[in-house]
Amino acid sequence: MKMSRKISEVSLSAEKLLSDLEDVSKRFSEVVDGRSKEAIKLIRQTSVVLINVLKSKLMFIDKTVKKQLISKHDDRILLRKKYNEAKGFLYTFLTWKNKNVKELALCTLMSLVHTQADYPFHPAENKTHFPVQFFQDIIHELLKKEVDTKILTNRFKEFTEFDDVKFHLLKALNLIIKQNRTKSEENPNFTENFFYLLEHVKLKTEDEDAKDDEDAEDDSSQTFCKSELPFKMDYEVTKKLFNSTWIEFLKLQITPCIYKRILVMLHDQVFPHLQNPLLLTDFLIDSYNTGGVVSLLSLTSLFFLIQNYNLEYPDFYKKFYSLFTPDIFHAKYRARFFYLADLFLSSTYLPEYLLAAFVKKLSRLALTASPNIISVIIPFIKNILIRHKNAEKMINQPSDVELESDPFLMDEADPAKCRAIDSSLWELKTLQSHYIPQISNAAKMINRNLPQMESDISDKYENTITDVKMFDKASEVEWAEVALSFEKPEKLFTEKSNKRQYFCL
């Protein structure tokens, strides 16, 4: 009697859930793109219904039960079918134009991932319940759409803080890019969407991970889907996935915007976890030879390989010398450029002609640079002269030369042939007559003995035209009236003024 009552209760519960799912399906067919309020209400209703379906455990099928013995009219099969159909409705909301609708749909899907881990369809192996296939379907949806899903991938970043999501995201990306390499190259948005997800995968080294484990009170706090056995990320396995995914990704056609972002993050987010960073040598050399901002951004990673992996690149300084153009001082990454230039010219083993070439070219560029750039160039040259005593002889060269008689060849691309060592720093002598006192005083440093210690000018690297605008804005502040005469005049001209005859008042 009790057994039949239980079966009856389960049947009624299944019928109620199926009815709710049918209602969701009917309402979805009535929602049109553009009606955001209705869509948000439907997403929330769908979320409640699907979570109730999962918590009912009516879709659970033990692995001991043979599939052949399960009827297609079984409540468990019907519920699964309707459950997956409702999830499909949520996928369509990811393509809506309204930001709130898209983000709510994504968060609802991830909430279902979390709930499905607690109430799985099958008994889990190794006591872990992460719904891998469901999660991979979500990643597929974020990548395959013809619209830009940058908003969604940025929102997805909050979930990558959890180790299990990070690992399974990397696994899904690796699987997708290998299976759809040809198709992905045909989709212009795939590369960008793929990168927006991949850049959120930030790994920690084994030492950092061990330190975090010591600081963490509860291992489960780092996992999104709780299970009987806490998820522990295997660094070596994750590292192999990370390597494979990045190498495959860099084979795709990359847009200029993404190209620059990759170069910015390579040396500190990618290289520490690559098994062999030298595999990216060709990629970095091609980037370095491109010129402009791309060359500048590739400098850090390329120098990292030269310094740490003994990469041989004989033309490194020759190419670096060619980057010294007026345009580089107005680039977005100018501070990085000066920082790297200071680093590359710090070695005491650099030949004299090479140092002279860089000092001379900077001096020449200072003649036509804006004041905020000159304020960086002069102390930068000063530090090089202090660091390398052999370059001081350029100060002692006769400085009363004219531009036409200067042996320095400004347009020569090879620093070994530009004849800077035979020239002088007459440009700094010229800047001593600059209309801004701070610059003229700074240029007079060649008239005195150089100090023994270098100056810290790192704070000046970030000075840009914004500082000038801020100064102009400050000058527009209204001040109190200042007395300009003993008595405040009441009229423009007095009665006795003879200038009144020239005006009709």
pLDDT in tens, 121-168: 766 554 567 888 899 999 998 887 666 678 888 889 999 988 889 999
Give the pLDDT band of residue 214 (cuts 50, 70, 90). low
Q: Answer yes or no: are the C-beta atoms of 46 and 82 closer than 8 Å.
A: no
Give the pLDDT band of residue 230 (cuts 50, 70, 90). low
Q: What is the mean pLDDT of residues 486-497?
A: 66
Q: Residue 69's pLDDT is what?
A: 46
Residue 250 or residue 220, greater confidence: 250
pTM of the model: 0.76
> By percentage, how much of the chain surpasses pLDDT 90?
15
For residue 47, give every residue at least 6 positions away whose Cβ sits within 8 Å of its Cβ, in sequence order, or none.
Answer: 108, 111, 112
Q: Residue 492's pLDDT is what?
A: 67
Judge whether residue 27 has pLDDT over 90. Answer: no
Which residue in 159, 162, 118 sits closest to 139, CA to CA? 159
Q: Residue 493's pLDDT is what?
A: 65
Q: Residue 23's pLDDT is what?
A: 84
Give the pLDDT band of residue 105 (cuts 50, 70, 90). very high
Judge whether residue 3 has pLDDT over 50. Answer: no
Residue 465 or residue 248, greater confidence: 248
| Helix axis angle, 36-56 to 99-118, nearest 10° | 0
Long-range contacts of 133-141 (CB under 8 A, 24+ apart): 134/87, 135/165, 135/168, 135/169, 135/172, 136/168, 136/172, 136/175, 136/176, 137/87, 137/91, 138/106, 138/109, 138/110, 138/113, 139/169, 139/172, 139/173, 139/176, 139/197, 140/172, 140/176, 141/91, 141/94
> By percentage, how much of the chain surpasses pLDDT 70?
75
pLDDT in tens, 389-440: 877 778 767 666 666 778 889 989 899 999 988 888 888 888 988 888 888 9
Give the pLDDT band of residue 6 (cuts 50, 70, 90). very low
pLDDT in tens, 160-169: 988 889 999 9
In the predicted model, what is the mean pLDDT of the chain? 79
pLDDT in tens, 438-462: 889 888 888 888 777 777 777 666 6
The DSSP element (H or E) to which 359 belongs, if any, is helix 352-366
Hunting for tokens 């409705």 — which residue is that?
89
Judge whether residue 485 has pLDDT over 90. Answer: no
